[in-house]
Amino acid sequence: MDDLFAPPGEHWQRLSPGYARVRRIAAAITLLVVFLPAAGLTWWFTGQWLWGAAVAAAGVALIVFQWWRVGRWVRAWGYAERAEDLYLSHGLWFRQLTVIPYGRMQLVKVESGPIERSLGLATVQLVTASPQTDARIPGLPADEAARLRDRLVEAGQADQAGL
Higher pLDDT, 33 or 103: 33
C-alpha to C-alpha distance for 108 and 138, rounded to whole angstroms: 13
The answer, yes or no, to whether residue 156 has pLDDT greater than 80, is no
Confidence of residue 117 (pLDDT cuts 50, 70, 90): very high
Residues 6+ positions from 124 with CB-CB distance below 8 Å? 108, 109, 110, 136, 137, 140, 145, 148, 149, 152
Percentage of the residues of the chain whose pLDDT score is greater than 70: 90
Over the stretch 41-90, which tens digit does the pLDDT of each residue have?
998 988 888 998 998 899 889 889 988 899 899 988 889 988 888 888 88
Would the pTM of this model clear 0.85, i.e. be above it? no
